Structure 1
Amino acid sequence: MKKIYLAAIAGNLGMLTVGQYFGWASPTLPILMQGKDETYPVRLTSEEASWVSSLLMLGAMAGCVICVFIVNVIGRKNTMLFAAVPSITSWLMIAFATSSWELYISRFLAGLSTGITHSVTVIYIAEISPPNIRGILTSMLTVISKFGTTLEYVIGPFLSVSNLAFVSLAGPCLFLITFIWVPESPYQLMRRNARQKAINSLIQLRGESDVYKEADDIERSVQVDLTNNTGFRELLCMPGNRRALITVISLNAIHQMSGVQAVEQYAELIFDQTNNKLDGKYLTMILGTVQVICTIICMFITDRSGRKSLLIISAIGSACSTAMVATYFQLQHNHVNTSNLTWLPAVGVIMYVIMFSVGLSPLPIAMIGELFPTNVKALGSTVTVIAAGVIAFSVTKLYLIIADNFGIHIPFWIFTACSLAGALFTFLYVPETKGKTLQQIQKELHGSSGVKKNFRKKYFRVSFFC
């Protein structure tokens, strides 16, 4: 069983760089906007900074589209390795950039890598994982991503922009060195009718030779899935697939609309406007550390507490936390003396990170790999990440514009409302996948007509509340 953990760690290392890209903006944008790094030739306005942040998400959408065309052709493993190429290119472009346009291109390439990595890694990890620890291994994806974000928070303020890019370049290089030795997903090998290779992959992953029953189950599951079509008709018209799509798109939309992009990419700018005695960069470091610790805790309790309860708790907690931040800036906007409340937004943001990490951070991504059947998994994953990318781009691009023109309290009140809506949606509609094999999940999603009627009732209830 130790081998499966090593394989999952190696596979998830690609997410280290994804996290670094999200964390890079927080310490770097203040430097580029205020001209603090005299050795770096690029200076940014507020408008240009919003493009540098948000182009990451546009690139991620393009990466998702590329992923859907290559993931079943060259395989999960080779797709993950391919994603390291634009990642390395992006860091080098940042290091040697001489204009804002070069930063735009570099961030788009970073997004390209992010989209491919997000789409394929969750599929690969879900397919190699046994059901009893699948929640831990898929949640590891978010832990490593948040560690990459925190790494940028910690080292970014003390390095030049170029040196930070060179240090960050170690992430994709480390991934290439370690992951090249990991076997391909047994599901992917079964898709190619390479049964013996799939068995060998399972032996490597499980660390034991008695894997024939699991191989038979995988083969039957893949054969059933592959007898179906793999297009949008199959994804949208089959009730089970449609429910999976609605669930993961909605959860990932809630993930983004709860405010994570604003908090992660603009954390230092937000803290600098609270007039706190502690510098924004140090509060951001604390924020990143708390985020990693809480995500690790979530990783270990996911398979014990279940996905649904954690998502509800996380959404309600996130709403209360962003409401604290919104209240402070609302009072500030109304010219109320807030000198005795400078602690409130810092506590609110840190509480947000804690509550967000409990469920909304790792689980929407993890459930992409759990809910879709093999035949539409790549397409479903791609559609979901594209939808999430559109929302994330909008949040990232509009946050600074709304905050500058109407006040920081407005976007944080919006985040609060979206988190509360997410808790209601999860309670009414999201299925529980704890401890179930991928085959069992599909049987339940495509279950009896009575179950489907119940799903429809809940769906209409959600529609009514929306």
Structure 2
Amino acid sequence: MKKLYLAAAAGNLGMLTVGQYFGWASPSLPVLIQRKDETYPVRLTTEEASWVSSLLIIGTMAGCIICAFLVNVIGRKNTMLFAAVPSIIGWLMIAFATSSWELYISRFVAGLSTGITYPAIIIYIGEISPANIRGILTAMLTVTSKFGTALEYVIGPFLSVRNLAFVSLAAPCLLLITFIWVPESPYQLMRRNARQKAITSLIQLRGKNDVYKEADDIEQSVQFDLTNNIDFRKILCVPGNRRALIIMLSLVITHQMSGIQAVEQYAELIFDQTNSKLDGKYLTMILGAVQMISTITCLFIIDRNGRKSLLIISTIGSACSTAMVAIYFQLKHDDVNTNNVTWLPAVGAIMYVIMFSVGLAPIPTVMESELFSTNVKAFATMVNAITSCTIVFGVTKMYLIVADNFGIQTPFWIFTACSFTGAVFMFFYVPETKGKTLQQIQKELHGSSGVKKRFRKQCYVQVRGKDGSEEERNRNCSDVKYLTDE
């Protein structure tokens, strides 16, 4: 199992950089707008600052499309290594930028890396993890991302823009060095008909030689998926695939529309407008620390209490928290004396990151690695990531515009309404996946939607005999083990 945890730790270095790129804006944009760093030649207007934030998201959308093609062609591992290159280039361009346009390009390049890294590592960790700890390992991706964001919050105010970029450069460099040594996903190796290599990968990941039963299950699952190729039309037409896609899109929309991008990327600017006795940069540091602690806490409960209950509690708590921020700025907008409640937005924001971190932050990532079968996983992950990036771009780009024209309370009321709506959907539609293998989850999704009737066509699968020999048999697709009760 040591190799498994090494692989997960190495992959998380990629998520550390993702978090750092998202956290970089909060301490850096006020410096660039207010011209506090005399050693850095770039100065930004509010409009330019919004583009610096949002171009990261546009690059991420492009990176997601690239990842959908790379992850099955060159493999999960090589895709992660490839993603480290634009990440390094992005930080170097930020460090040596001399104009706003160079910052724009650097953030777009950083987005390419983010868009490739995020889906690839979700797929990789989901495929190498055994069912009993898959929740912890995939939730760790979010913890690492939030740690990267918190790290930027904490060290950003005390470093120049250039030095902050140099410090942040360490994570993608370490990724290149460490990820070379981890094994490829056994699912990917089975896709290439490299059964023996897949078994070797499982032995390395599990730390034991008795992996043939798991290898047979993986091979059977992959063979079924490859025999039944999926395009976008079939994703929508096959009930089980359609249900998985609807669930994930809804989780992604609720995740982003709860307000996380506004709070993370504009935290210091928001706190500076609260008339608090504590500077915005220090409140932002507290926010980052609380977010880290809350996300780590989720690791200890995600495989004990179940995904669904945590999601609902987290979403309702997020709605109540953003409502607190909205109430304060609504009172201020209506010229009501707020001197006695200057604590309200800070408490609301801190409560928001606590509630968001225990469910909405890690669980959509966990479930994204669980809900989709091998043949559709790369494409579905791309669709989810592009949807997420579209919403993130809209929130990041429009937040300052809406807040400047209609008051800060307006976007926070929108976040509150979206969170409450998402909680209702989760209660009625999201399934529980805790403790189930990927094959069991597929069986439930497709079995509950009548997929066995739809797949009454012939599949050619490799069948392993008792004597160890293998032969190809023509079998009805409904007879594939993980889709039946056999």
TM-score, normalised with respect to structure 1: 0.96
- Does the alignment pair 1:322 with 2:322? yes
Determine the structure 1 residue equivalent to 2:112. Answer: 112
Determine the structure 2 residue equivalent to 1:256. Answer: 256
The CA distance in 1 between the partners of 2:300 and 2:18, in whole Å, is: 22
Determine the structure 2 residue equivalent to 1:459. Answer: none
Determine the structure 2 residue equivalent to 1:59. Answer: 59
Q: CA deviation at 1:6?
A: 2.0
The CA distance in 1 between the partners of 2:368 and 2:279, in whole Å, is: 38
The amino acid that maps onto 2:344 is L
- Does the alignment pair 1:341 with 2:341? yes
> Residues 313-339 of structure 1: CA distance to partner in whole angstroms, max 9, x if unpaired?
000000000000000000011111111
The CA distance in 1 between the partners of 2:412 and 2:341, in whole Å, is: 17
> Residues 16-71 of structure 1: CA distance to partner in whole angstroms, max 9, x if unpaired?
00000010000000000000000111111111111111111111100000011111
CA contact (8 A) 1:125 1:138 kept: yes
- Does the alignment pair 1:12 with 2:12? yes
Counterpart mapping for 1:220-259 below 5 A: 220-259=220-259
Instruction: Give the 3-state SS of the residue equivalent to 1:137 in structure 2.
Output: helix
The CA distance in 1 between the partners of 2:230 and 2:67, in whole Å, is: 15
Q: CA deviation at 1:233?
A: 2.0
Instruction: Give the 3-state SS of the residue equivalent to 1:83 in structure 2.
Output: helix
Q: CA deviation at 1:289?
A: 0.7
Counterpart mapping for 1:36-51 below 5 A: 36-51=36-51
Q: CA deviation at 1:111?
A: 0.8
Counterpart mapping for 1:75-90 below 5 A: 75-90=75-90
The CA distance in 2 between the partners of 1:326 and 1:270, in whole Å, is: 12
The CA distance in 2 between the partners of 1:84 and 1:449, in whole Å, is: 40
Q: CA deviation at 1:3?
A: 2.9
Determine the structure 2 residue equivalent to 1:123. Answer: 123
- Does the alignment pair 1:388 with 2:384? no
Determine the structure 2 residue equivalent to 1:438. Answer: 438
The CA distance in 2 between the partners of 1:316 and 1:181, in whole Å, is: 42
The CA distance in 2 between the partners of 1:451 and 1:418, in whole Å, is: 32
Instruction: Give the 3-state SS of the residue equivalent to 2:259 in structure 1.
Output: helix
Determine the structure 1 residue equivalent to 2:364. Answer: 364
Q: CA deviation at 1:236?
A: 1.6
The CA distance in 1 between the partners of 2:107 and 2:288, in whole Å, is: 21
Counterpart mapping for 1:291-310 below 5 A: 291-310=291-310
CA contact (8 A) 1:254 1:418 kept: yes
> Residues 64-106 of structure 1: CA distance to partner in whole angstroms, max 9, x if unpaired?
0001111100000000111111100000000000111111111
Instruction: Give the 3-state SS of the residue equivalent to 1:181 in structure 2.
Output: coil
- Does the alignment pair 1:175 with 2:182? no
Counterpart mapping for 1:152-167 below 5 A: 152-167=152-167
Structure 1 portions without partners, runs of 5+:
453-466
Instruction: Give the 3-state SS of the residue equivalent to 1:359 in structure 2.
Output: helix
The CA distance in 1 between the partners of 2:181 and 2:328, in whole Å, is: 51
Residue identity over aligned pairs, in percent, reads 80
Aligned residue pairs total: 452
The CA distance in 1 between the partners of 2:291 and 2:202, in whole Å, is: 33
Determine the structure 1 residue equivalent to 2:482. Answer: none
Q: CA deviation at 1:363?
A: 0.9
The CA distance in 1 between the partners of 2:227 and 2:449, in whole Å, is: 22
Q: CA deviation at 1:451?
A: 10
CA contact (8 A) 2:240 2:451 kept: no
CA contact (8 A) 1:252 1:365 kept: no
The CA distance in 2 between the partners of 1:371 and 1:411, in whole Å, is: 31
Q: CA deviation at 1:175?
A: 1.2
CA contact (8 A) 2:239 2:451 kept: no
The amino acid that maps onto 2:381 is S
The CA distance in 2 between the partners of 1:299 and 1:55, in whole Å, is: 32
The CA distance in 2 between the partners of 1:448 and 1:165, in whole Å, is: 50
Q: CA deviation at 1:171?
A: 1.0
Q: Considering only aligned residues, what root-mean-square deviation do their CA atoms show, in Å?
A: 1.1
> Residues 99-144 of structure 1: CA distance to partner in whole angstroms, max 9, x if unpaired?
1111111111111111111111100000000000000000000000
Determine the structure 2 residue equivalent to 1:288. Answer: 288
Instruction: Give the 3-state SS of the residue equivalent to 1:200 in structure 2.
Output: helix
TM-score, normalised with respect to structure 2: 0.92
Instruction: Give the 3-state SS of the residue equivalent to 2:132 in structure 1.
Output: coil
The CA distance in 2 between the partners of 1:117 and 1:179, in whole Å, is: 13
The CA distance in 2 between the partners of 1:140 and 1:10, in whole Å, is: 12
Counterpart mapping for 1:395-406 below 5 A: 395-406=395-406
Q: Which has the larger radius of gyration?
A: 2
The CA distance in 1 between the partners of 2:429 and 2:47, in whole Å, is: 39
